[in-house]
Amino acid sequence: MTNNPTAQSGNYVGVDLSTQALRVALVANDGEVVERRETVLERDDVARQAASMIQELRDRAPSIKAIGVGIPGLVNPQTHEVVISSGMPSAAQGNLQAELSNLTGLPVALENDANAAAYGEYVTGAGRGSRNMFYVTLGQGIGGAIILGGKLWLGASGFAGEFGHITIDPDGAECACGNTGCLETVASAPNIVRRTHERLFRDGTSSLSKLSMNRDFTAADIAREARNGDDFALLMIERTGRYIGTAVASVINLLNIERIVLGGGVMEAGALILDAIIREAGRRSFQPCFEATQIVAAQLGTDAVAIGAAMLARDAAIVTG
Amino acid sequence: MTNNPTAQSGNYVGVDLSTQALRVALVANDGEVVERRETVLERDDVARQAASMIQELRDRAPSIKAIGVGIPGLVNPQTHEVVISSGMPSAAQGNLQAELSNLTGLPVALENDANAAAYGEYVTGAGRGSRNMFYVTLGQGIGGAIILGGKLWLGASGFAGEFGHITIDPDGAECACGNTGCLETVASAPNIVRRTHERLFRDGTSSLSKLSMNRDFTAADIAREARNGDDFALLMIERTGRYIGTAVASVINLLNIERIVLGGGVMEAGALILDAIIREAGRRSFQPCFEATQIVAAQLGTDAVAIGAAMLARDAAIVTG
């Protein structure tokens, strides 16, 4: 017997490769983070860097059963190889799964970062208690994932949940994907900054004007100034919420889904943006669908990808088709 | 032994209450229509009228196992009672399922007409060979339904697939649902006629102008004139296809679904509208999702609801949540 309750059922390791950082978490069988490590990601040898961090955790918790890795790319659910990864090209060239498994002697499951975060929120975050959930992450880009009957629904080629490329304005701005008026052209963090710059340049009086004399401001700055009562920043946050709410309404109408969980850096604006999203989604969705949906903020913050990746290594919870 | 191959595995009856007509079909175990009857729907006593038509079929094919009924409304999947039916209020007041079952002595399954049509196309029409399919019906109204893993996915309150109320233009026309710019405000049959009237009135020269002197034209007239080479009618059909394609792109992006089947009277414009839909969906959806999707016309025509209702009486193929 042991005093560590997690040792009885084993631990998992979740690895988050979704940003510039390499995050590794020791995750108990119930999804609780026992310990976390973070360092700057060295893109040349991701597998070796992750393996060495995992070894440190292992010295403290020997009973690790498997490793889950969330990456900014698409993973082939049959072969577990990285198919497309705009954020992390070196991983797509090698076979990250095989390398990491060889280095650690443990089973390794790779998954798209948005899918992993969705599953993390589902198991132990804002999705708890639901069986069917749509997850949105709003940050440098916009991603989404669908959980149906407790499992990730990946679709025919693994891309289900492409929330960022929903058209919200047919005559809107050009998107890198080739469409015009995708949600991502207005509501990703860089595009919130772009819109704010454009409007400030034209007719803005805002605390952001002063800030922009010293350095480029970020979406986090806009959110903070909005919370501090700056009318201009508040307008930008509310309008962003309206754009997101328009796309959320399409999800509600199509899926009549029990819960929608919104995460990512853009949601750090808190109730200011969440309320605007809910208001617009309510205006734009079919009422019986809207009334059946809870729209809530994510709860796991920067732990979501690592926790979800670890729990995906625990569960066979992926459906394609 | 018998010469009738269907008698060995039993027959089903499908009832279609989705329009002004009452359609009843004897459907073999494999989805083939053995015989069909059609009459004007008497709204006062739907159950008795249907029961008497079913009795005629029964005299010819005694081995009927169950009855499926497709209705223009929402059916509670637990109680099988009609919850909302804008098209058929009398059915919503009584308990159609119990009445028809009492009158015939057979098990009766009620289902929403779009869901039934979707399942019909899935079993024996344009959905054959797929496991995951989105169905759209474009007629007096616009409906949709989702089939995942061979079963209807109804969502949290039975409304999944509300395709007609997807916002395709945030500043578009007012919709009865309370939103602005729903697909239905421009692409249902009555709204295709309205848009055509408006434009003809302003600046039209078309074979439709002559037609409209004698009587109001219909969406079917517009489709026919387009096929006959009338430029104006063709423009209206192509533009309608673009609107529909914008909403189809949202389905493709969100569900990464294997097949999309488009049915209903509006699709009688054939390749003229289907090609426009596919073109716009291709422009507006994420390419890896688009490439994994087949977008096709429905094949069962006015049999779809009755066949699907009969097959839903055969199968337990409904999932809610």
Q: What is the pLDDT of residues B119-154, one digit of tens each?
A: 999 999 999 999 999 999 999 999 999 999 999 999
Q: Measuring CA to CA, which residue among A306, A312, A263 is closest to residue A27?
A: A306
Which chain B residue is nearest to residue A171, measuring alpha carbons? B169
Say which amino acid occupies B191: N
* B187 and B248, same domain (yes or no): yes
C-beta pairs of A85-93 under 8 Å, 24+ apart in sequence: A87/A18, A88/A17, A88/A43, A88/A46, A90/A43, A90/A44, A90/A46, A91/A17, A91/A46
| pLDDT band per the 50, 70, 90 thresholds, residue A2 | very low
How confident is the model at residue B5, as a pLDDT?
Answer: 44
Q: Measuring CA to CA, which residue among B170, B60, B58 is closest to residue B104?
A: B58
- Assigned domain for B47 exists: yes
DSSP helix/strand/coil, A46: helix
Cβ contact, residue pair A149, B255, below 8 Å: no
Return d(Cα A290, Cα A157) in angstroms, integer: 29
How confident is the model at residue A61, as a pLDDT?
Answer: 81
Whether B44 shows a pLDDT value over 90: the answer reads no
Average pLDDT, chain B: 89
* B71 and B154, same domain (yes or no): no
Whether B6 shows a pLDDT value over 50: the answer reads no
* A137 and A273, same domain (yes or no): yes
Return d(Cα B107, Cα A63) in angstroms, integer: 55
- Assigned domain for B95 exists: yes
How confident is the model at residue B19, as a pLDDT?
Answer: 82
A positions 132-161 inside 8 Å of B (CB): 132, 144, 146, 148-149, 153-161
Mean pLDDT of B30-36: 95
Q: Which of B79, B113, B147 is the last residue of a domain?
A: B113
Cβ contact, residue pair A163, B254, below 8 Å: yes
Beta strand B133-138 pairing with B259-263? parallel
* B100 and B30, same domain (yes or no): yes
Share of chain A above pLDDT 90, in %: 72
Contact, A258 vs A290, CB < 8 A?
Answer: no
Which chain A residue is nearest to residue B179, measuring alpha carbons? A284
Return d(Cα B159, Cα A189) in angstroms, integer: 33
Mean pLDDT of A296-321: 91
- Assigned domain for A196 exists: yes
* B50 and B152, same domain (yes or no): no
Out of A3-7, A54-58, B181-185, B216-220, least confident range? A3-7
| Number of structural domains chain B divides into | 2
| pLDDT band per the 50, 70, 90 thresholds, residue A90 | low
**Chain B interface, mutation test: which of A122, A154, A166, A290, most B Cβ atoms within 10 Å?**
A166
Angle at A70 between CA A65 and CA A71, to 5 degrees: 140
- Assigned domain for A251 exists: yes
Whether B82 shows a pLDDT value over 90: the answer reads no
* A101 and A165, same domain (yes or no): no
Cβ contact, residue pair A254, B84, below 8 Å: no
**Chain B interface, mutation test: which of A244, A256, A291, most B Cβ atoms within 10 Å?**
A256
Q: Closest partner residue to A254 among B84, B254, B292, by Cβ? A: B254
Return d(Cα B258, Cα A156) in angstroms, integer: 6
How confident is the model at residue A10, as a pLDDT?
Answer: 80
Cβ contact, residue pair B288, A84, below 8 Å: yes
* B109 and B136, same domain (yes or no): no
Q: Closest partner residue to B288 among A154, A157, A285, by Cβ? A: A157
**Chain B interface, mutation test: which of A250, A253, A294, A320, most B Cβ atoms within 10 Å?**
A253
Whether A4 shows a pLDDT value over 50: the answer reads no
A positions 264-283 inside 8 Å of B (CB): 283
Whether A92 shows a pLDDT value over 70: the answer reads no
Beta strand B142-148 pairing with B259-263? unpaired
Cβ contact, residue pair B292, A155, below 8 Å: yes
- Assigned domain for B308 exists: no
A175 touches chain B (CB under 8 A): no
| pLDDT band per the 50, 70, 90 thresholds, residue B3 | very low
* A156 and A9, same domain (yes or no): no
Range of the domain at A191: 130-299
- Assigned domain for A70 exists: yes
Contact, B260 vs B251, CB < 8 A?
Answer: yes
How confident is the model at residue B168, as a pLDDT?
Answer: 95
Cβ contact, residue pair B163, A84, below 8 Å: no
Cβ contact, residue pair B293, A169, below 8 Å: no
| pLDDT band per the 50, 70, 90 thresholds, residue B300 | very high
- Assigned domain for B263 exists: yes
> What's A62's domain CATH number?
3.30.420.40
A63 touches chain B (CB under 8 A): no
Identify the H or E element spanning A100: helix A96-104
Q: Closest partner residue to A255 among B155, B169, B283, by Cβ? A: B155
Give the distance from residue A128's alpha carbon to the nearest chain B alpha carbon, in angstroms.
15
Neighbours of A217 (CB within 10 A): 22
What is the 3-class SS of chain B, one letter each residue?
Answer: CCCCHHHHHCEEEEEECCCCEEEEEEEECCCCEEEEEEEECCHHHHHHHHHHHHHHHHHHCCCEEEEEEEECCEECCCCCCEEECCCCHHHHHCCHHHHHHHHHCCCEEEEEHHHHHHHHHHHHCCCCCCCCEEEEEECCCEEEEEEECCEEECCCCCCCCCHHHCECCCCCCECCCCCECECHHHHCHHHHHHHHHHHHHHHCCCHHHHHHHHCCCCHHHHHHHHHCCCHHHHHHHHHHHHHHHHHHHHHHHHHCCCEEEEECHHHHHCHHHHHHHHHHHHHHCCHHHHHCCEEEECCCHHHHHHHHHHHHHHCCCEECC
DSSP helix/strand/coil, A294: strand
* A104 and A194, same domain (yes or no): no
A33 touches chain B (CB under 8 A): no
Largest CA distance in chain A: 68
* A262 and A147, same domain (yes or no): yes
How confident is the model at residue B209, as a pLDDT?
Answer: 80
Q: Closest partner residue to B156 among A253, A256, A286, by Cβ? A: A256
Which chain A residue is nearest to residue B148, measuring alpha carbons? A321
* B179 and B202, same domain (yes or no): yes
Cβ contact, residue pair B159, A283, below 8 Å: no
* B99 and B134, same domain (yes or no): no
Q: Which residues of chain B neighbour A114 with C-beta distances below 8 Å?
A: none
Q: Is B140 exposed, middle or buried (0-12, 13-18, 19+ CB in 10 A)?
A: middle
Query: Over the stretch A179-225, which tens digit does the pLDDT of each residue have?
Result: 999 999 999 999 999 999 888 887 667 778 877 766 788 999 999 99
How confident is the model at residue B45, as a pLDDT?
Answer: 84
Q: Which residues of chain B neighbour A132 with C-beta distances below 8 Å?
A: 155-156, 321
- Assigned domain for A125 exists: no
